[in-house]
Structure 1
């Protein structure tokens, strides 16, 4: 592992303190370039990143296939590969249902292994809890995959505290993946404390508000016609974006005083949530990757953290973090 990039523990799994999210390498955030994405993954590994995260529905499997290509050969030994199952999707639309029945879990794992070109998944997340299937059945099937050697560690995503407890009673849960950032702090009251009580690490996705907390995107026109942020992010609509951008801009003088970018400041705040937190900002560009990684070693004092939170109070953000349609699939 490279000097300067510390490690953290997700349960008993040791990984670098910051991972790389694979949501945007195959679709969602505008035009993609496979060669550029692979170069970014390779650069991440060279800089000491270990956790590479994706899901079977990202690009309808294309993200897994691309990561598989990037990790071919000796690169595989450098990576802790995480992928997710559970969201049912058809065509180019967003997910329209969830499944967690045992048969589906087994099939989804085999399909992901095939696309990734791997003999095992290091960390396998249930992307969304299926309300129609007892969590005990889903986790029981995951435990069988661990016994079979197809999966090393298991995780949950967007799971409520009570569900986490029930799941952990069946088989140890290594990590909880969920949205956590300056403007998405809903897990702090109950979910994060429950995970910590049980020794479960936390993997914040969208720690930069899908890029918006960098201050880089100034208008809805910055997002293409089919960009996920334009289609499924209420906080980034023409109505809400100007108000929310004004909040983000309040971070600018704090970042300037610290000699960092706004995005680095926002991401460093996530890192300071605890030593069991491993954010996975996604990017397909090497320059953005390198900028993000600098946040993993940025120290903020208690006063600086308080100033950041005062500048961008989550309760003042306009719009929900997902559409109502998507929120119905989160475990609340």
Structure 2
């Protein structure tokens, strides 16, 4: 942090002027600035800074002579790097690339791409190549521009597509897992753990979607319809964070099931039911990832932003 907001270099010994200015600049945090006060145009300093520090500053004349020159020297705040969730929200083709590479863009969607790459031991060049290939190839199927949808419409889509899928497929998978465990558990005891884990996961998801439908989704729709915060029974930030925490929990449970089954590797003695069970679980996992992605990376952030705008315009902030 610098000691002064205005540095009067007219009071500094000539040979120390530039070194002193450099010291002040180097001490700046990103987003901070100070003003150089001088009795002549300090333009030569601009070129020296550019040569020795690079293009990492802004130079704004506040006063340009003839007797006094003042320049505001700023070290701009670093632009926030996009998260994998934000990248996936803007382009589902890139989401497919993330899925292919094993990059978690739903529960792990708040990580930057660099962080996700480092965790998986991938290279930036490899990921960049895959992303560029997806953009060049386009998509073989129509994709929805979820990011442009109204919040209420998106919430209804999640309910009609993903919530209903959970309720319809969950019981089928639970029953099938119990059946396969009873028939093959003696040879493959991990199936008992799989059946137990699926039962617990489904119970949590049934409760989760019910809370979204009864509490959070109606609140988001009310927020979108009215610019009067007084009509909100409660703020949505708390419920949103609760739902995100439950998403993380579901993601962790799915990872544990994958580890238990060695990524759903079928044994040589797998029957048709065994094979069908693993196919259904993988299908369920893909749907749940899309479900969580739409909420964590699109619906919830946009709803929180809208609530903040509503409260700010009402003078509540």
TM-score (norm 2): 0.21
Structure with the larger helix share: 2
Structure with the bigger RCO (C-alpha within 8 Å, sep 6+) is: 1
TM-score (norm 1): 0.20
